[in-house]
Amino acid sequence: MASEELINARHAATAGLIACASAFVYLLARGYQARRTFYRLRQQGMPMPPWNFVLGHLLAVPPIMKTLPEDTQQPDAFEALCRANEKRDADSIIYLDMWPFADPMMVICSPVLAVQACQEHDLPKPPILHAFFNPLAGGANLFTMNGPEWKRSRALFNSGFSASHILEQTSHIVDEAEVYAKILRQHARKGEIFSLDDVTCWYMMDVIGAVTLDSRLHSQQQFNPLASALRRQIRWHVLDNEWNLLIRWNPARPFVQWYNSYQMNSYIAQELDKRYAEWTEDEAATSSRSIIHLALAGYMAQQKDKPRPRMLDAAFRDWATVQIRLFLFAGHDSTSSTICYCFYLLQSHPEAMAKLRAENDVVFGTDITETAKMMREQPHLLNRLPYTTAVIKESLRLFPPASAMRGGQPGIYLQDDKGNRYPTEGTNMWILHSAVQRNPKYWPSAMEFIPERWLAEPGDPLYPVKGGWRPFEHGPRNCLGQTLAMHDVKITLVLTAREFDIKHAYDEWDRLHPTSKVKSVNGERAYQMQSGGAHPADGYPCRISLRKH
């Protein structure tokens, strides 16, 4: 018996050694392939930082990181690398060899090249995006899909985001905006520092919950299991710029993420079953174009010539749950950040705030207590706010909440204005929206907040360059929810900007949390840090007061 156990132990040890050796050989082969790719690119004279055959460009990152805050978003570091290493006779682009942390990358900071990658060629979303979105959405989703599957899903949800339908949602959005204003009043009475980003995230969770599930989550004022699980999942999400291996490989993370997913999936499944029961009882109750109803409409269309099942198909329920989770994440995360940056920039530019308030007075009258009622009864008035819209667009230019990524293809080259051609095969193209939208080659006074550039006529030096503004991307894969996002921010500003003075409290925050580390990017203390999408640093600490009229 002892000899048999010894033999088994030897077999197990041998199997373990073979597995380790196989993994080592695999990694060695992948590493050699990545380094060989960059050796060839360097031989062709492609723009890149100083390169090492053993370490690639890993040595190029630490000097850049020393000049930036530890928690800054990764695009800031890659933008700095691009600025430092782009060639004078080429457009804003570099190749980066970050293996084993990432596949070969093209970092694009040029609108000319961005247009080609996302519009002219319509290149696919790369597999690397699954690692980011799967913990949040739970599986293959509208953002990461490609080909016919993506086209079918996109067509299914299109009508839920038409301009006319979004305008019809104004009353639901105003309901949640009034709760948001009430909470801001409470903070004004307390007079203490609070996180505007945190409060605004819960607000937008309620907005997207109403639009997606056609029901109120009330997460701004009480516990909601769906909203809380999603917000908790974002906090536990590991990001690509996390270099601390203890955090990156935290053994508790898989269990916490599984529990959060279970909470979200259970809640959404109950909603799907409830809506399906309503559908089977009264088809007239299905006229809503919320995301959950559009998903069910697609399912029912597939069942048209079949006996109606008593319960939803499990495969459909799983698919619909993933798409709903994606809409809940994307719909609240980026919009909440944009609202914070609108307040930040308006506070820093009182002349712009005065213009915005004056425009709101003209359209909605000076009695701010009537504003919510007017928006409900006459939502079309929100389309008569060109300066307010310009403020939002300029805020999104300076602080876009995300970037874009596409997968390179054999035989596909990007070409700049000077005729330089850049091969895309074997790379992931990262279009850095923040870098594209602040590129001084294409934007006059690129780092300045100038809403008037969105009111300029063609021929004016301020007139935006084609393809240069990309917070919602362009082309077939543009953001489905962009009309809703703009509508959300507009309603929020109209309802709050004339009632409150919101001032950041970074000076006080830094006195309470002293550090010798770098705490600004491009001179901005409210730099963007990664938390799902890009959010203002330290949660945007602020104080708020009721405005004196």
The mean per-residue pLDDT over the stretch 456-475 comes to 95
Claim to verify: residue 378 and residue 523 sit in the same structural domain: yes
Question: pLDDT higher for 216 or 549?
Answer: 216
277: its two tokens: 């029961």
Q: What is the pLDDT of residues 469-517, one digit of tens each?
A: 999 999 899 999 999 999 999 999 999 999 999 999 999 999 999 999 9
Cα–Cα distance measured from residue 146 to residue 154, given in angstroms and rounded to the nearest whole number: 11
Can you give the pLDDT at residue 449?
98
Computed over every residue of the chain, the mean pLDDT equals: 91
**Helix, coil or strand: residue 443:** coil
**Residue at 262 is within a domain:** no
**Residue at 425 is within a domain:** yes
183: its two tokens: 């909470």
**Residue at 365 is within a domain:** yes
Question: pLDDT higher for 303 or 540?
Answer: 540
Q: Is the pLDDT of residue 7 over 90?
A: no
Phi-psi region of 523 (alpha: psi -120 to 50; beta: other; left: phi over 0): left
Show the DSSP H helices in 349-458 as ranges. 350-364, 371-377, 386-398, 433-437
Out of 83-97, 275-289, 390-404, 488-502, pick the least confident: 275-289
Give one DSSP letter per residue of 170-235, joined into a string: HHHHHHHHHHHHHHHHHHHHHT--EEHHHHHHHHHHHHHHHHHHSS---TTTS--HHHHHHHHHHH
Q: What is the pLDDT of residues 111-134, one digit of tens each?
A: 999 999 999 998 999 999 998 999
Claim to verify: residue 158 and residue 216 sit in the same structural domain: yes
pLDDT band, residue 300 (cuts 50/70/90): confident
Claim to verify: residue 38 and residue 9 sit in the same structural domain: yes
Claim to verify: residue 143 and residue 178 sit in the same structural domain: yes
**Residue at 307 is within a domain:** no
Claim to verify: residue 33 and residue 180 sit in the same structural domain: no
Cα–Cα distance measured from residue 162 to residue 480, given in angstroms and rounded to the nearest whole number: 9
Q: Is the pLDDT of residue 349 over 80?
A: yes
Q: What is the pLDDT of residues 321-336, one digit of tens each?
A: 999 999 999 999 999 9
Give one DSSP letter per residue of 488-512, joined into a string: HHHHHHHHHTTTEEEEE-HHHHHHH
CB 428 within 8 A of CB 406: yes
What's the CATH code of the domain at 382?
1.10.630.10
Q: Which of 42-51, 115-124, 390-399 has the highest mean pLDDT?
A: 390-399
The helix (run of H) or strand (run of E) holding residue 535 is: strand 533-536
pLDDT band, residue 310 (cuts 50/70/90): confident
The mean per-residue pLDDT over the stretch 166-182 comes to 96
**Residue at 33 is within a domain:** yes
**Residue at 23 is within a domain:** yes
CB 124 within 8 A of CB 146: yes
Q: Is the pLDDT of residue 282 over 90?
A: no
* Tokens 């601390």 found at: 244
What residues pair up with 405 in beta bridges, in sequence order? 430
Q: What is the pLDDT of residues 73-82, one digit of tens each?
A: 999 999 999 9
What residues pair up with 546 in beta bridges, in sequence order? 500
Cα–Cα distance measured from residue 218 to residue 228, given in angstroms and rounded to the nearest whole number: 11
Q: What is the pLDDT of residues 11-46, one digit of tens each?
A: 666 666 766 776 666 667 777 888 899 999 999 999
Claim to verify: residue 33 and residue 80 sit in the same structural domain: no
Q: Is the pLDDT of residue 303 over 80?
A: no
Can you give the pLDDT at residue 246?
67
CB 157 within 8 A of CB 480: yes
**Residue at 91 is within a domain:** yes
Residues in the chain: 549
Cis status of the peptide bond prior to 100, with omega within 30 of 0: yes
Range of the domain at 533: 50-223+330-546
Query: Within 10 A of 251 (CB to CB), how many other CB atoms are there?
Result: 7
Claim to verify: residue 66 and residue 27 sit in the same structural domain: no
Claim to verify: residue 1 and residue 89 sit in the same structural domain: no
Cα–Cα distance measured from residue 324 to residue 458, given in angstroms and rounded to the nearest whole number: 40
The mean per-residue pLDDT over the stretch 192-218 comes to 96
Contacting residues for 93 by C-beta, under 8 A, at least 6 apart: 47, 82, 86, 106, 107, 108, 109, 110, 113, 414, 416, 422
The mean per-residue pLDDT over the stretch 241-267 comes to 85
Claim to verify: residue 13 and residue 123 sit in the same structural domain: no
The helix (run of H) or strand (run of E) holding residue 431 is: strand 428-431
Q: Is the pLDDT of residue 526 over 70?
A: yes
Claim to verify: residue 136 and residue 25 sit in the same structural domain: no
Claim to verify: residue 36 and residue 63 sit in the same structural domain: no
**Residue at 318 is within a domain:** no
In the chain, how many domains are there? 2
The mean per-residue pLDDT over the stretch 179-196 comes to 97
Query: Within 10 A of 29 (CB to CB), how many other CB atoms are there?
Result: 10
Share of the chain above pLDDT 90, in %: 76
Q: Is the pLDDT of residue 143 over 70?
A: yes
Claim to verify: residue 36 and residue 60 sit in the same structural domain: no
